Structure 1
Amino acid sequence: MSLENLKGLNNLNKASVEQATHRFMQCCTSNGWVNAMVAARPYADERSLNEHADAAWQALGEVDYLEAFEGHPQIGNVDTLRAKYANTKALASGEQSAVNEASEQVLQALAQGNADYLKKFGFIFIVCATGKSAAQMLALLEARLPNDKATELANAAEEQRKIFHLRLEKLL
């Protein structure tokens, strides 16, 4: 663990219940998960924080997962998608293979796919989108759309887990 992460962990451990609740809520909006994370402090190290985050998440049920999913903005309208993917070339310029800007066709298909997903499953499409282009997001959405609700709830819960781990890392 870096010195900076250790400092962040110490600050998290020493934070008031209200402050810690606010910080964990930025990582995941499930009250059950947040309460478990706050109550388990202090954490000895980053590993124990991550292990407890997983254990707390796995102990939750569908209602808690849905509450966490509601904390994400829905990728539902084309204007939002255009803004999100407007600068993908600039963002990817340092990578080995540049990501192409999202085409209008991909944006339209992604918006429609998200609407179809919400209608079918009753919750928004959740995916750990870090580093993914609009076309990659569309391919993932299309691959998951044929699933049944139980399978998709498990998939979305796993993606949410990946997201809160990234956010915990940033928190530290």
Structure 2
Amino acid sequence: MNSTCVQEVISPCCLVRRSINTVVQLLKRVLAHKNMDMATVNALPYEDFVNLLGNVVEKCPIITAAVWSGRPFLNFAALEAAISEFIDALPESGKEGVLRCHPDLAGRDLRGGTLTRESREEQTGAGMDALTSAEASRVTRLNEEYKERFGFPFIICARLSDKATVLRQLSERRRNERAVERARAVEEVKKICRLRLQALVRDDAQNKL
């Protein structure tokens, strides 16, 4: 290996460039595969399947990886059902692990810009980035009370909610029994998953409506 190659390998700038190039290539693949039909989904190699669909359940690419072997999927509903069935088959501790992968609403990740792209779009769409000072303080307090009671963060399908709905649900649902709230949170995860899938995969049944 000559000196130029050695410098390239150890150069932090080179490593950053390579990381950026990797992200750019992945984004290009995501954009190229938006609105995929089911034939395209079924033809995806394992790595592309996981890279493209790996965040339909927040920060749980292992779920996408697990359902890949179930191909070919007959249609959008079959793919969605495979993911839901995987979640439903988890023990309660596993379900709570999935829930804990979700960020707080209007929390430090939103403020710090460290949310996943999907979560950022969902939270900003529901107005979580436009809370008043009083609202932000209330959400922070309620989030902490909720997590202290249940051991996982409050989850709601933000794309189907507005700021008032989020605040009302956060206040009301913290009074639920643990098993009831865990089940409700899992159903919200499935709603989020469905909408994220629809952003990537064509739902032919929906198109016929």
TM-score by structure 1 length? 0.75
Which structure has the larger Rg over C-alpha atoms? 2
Deviation at 1:22, TM superposition (A): 2.4
Deviation at 1:169, TM superposition (A): 0.9
Equivalent in the alignment of 1:36 = 66
The answer to whether the 8 A contact 1:37-1:53 is kept is: yes
Aligned counterpart in structure 2 of residue 111 of structure 1, from 140, 159, 163: 140
RMSD: 3.1
Aligned counterpart in structure 2 of residue 73 of structure 1, from 94, 103, 119: 103
Q: Using the aligned pairs only, state the percent identity.
A: 27
The answer to whether the 8 A contact 2:38-2:76 is kept is: yes
How many aligned positions are there? 157
Stretches (4+) displaced over 4 A? none
CA deviation vs aligned residue, 1:44-96 (integer Å, no higher than 9, x gap): 21122223233222222223322322332223647946x97xxx7xx69xxxx
Deviation at 1:18, TM superposition (A): 1.7
Aligned counterpart in structure 2 of residue 62 of structure 1, from 92, 98, 105: 92
**Aligned equivalents of 2:200 and 2:187: distance in 1?**
20
Equivalent in the alignment of 2:168 = 139
The answer to whether the 8 A contact 1:24-1:34 is kept is: yes
Deviation at 1:114, TM superposition (A): 0.6
The answer to whether the 8 A contact 1:110-1:134 is kept is: no
Equivalent in the alignment of 1:26 = 55
**Aligned equivalents of 2:109 and 2:72: distance in 1?**
43
Cα 1:110–1:35 change in 2 (3 A) is same
**Which SS does the other structure have where 1:127 is aligned?**
coil
Amino acid at match of 1:53: I
**Aligned equivalents of 1:68 and 1:34: distance in 2?**
13
Deviation at 1:41, TM superposition (A): 1.1
TM-score by structure 2 length? 0.63
Cα 1:21–1:149 change in 2 (3 A) is same
**Which SS does the other structure have where 2:158 is aligned?**
coil
Amino acid at match of 1:67: G
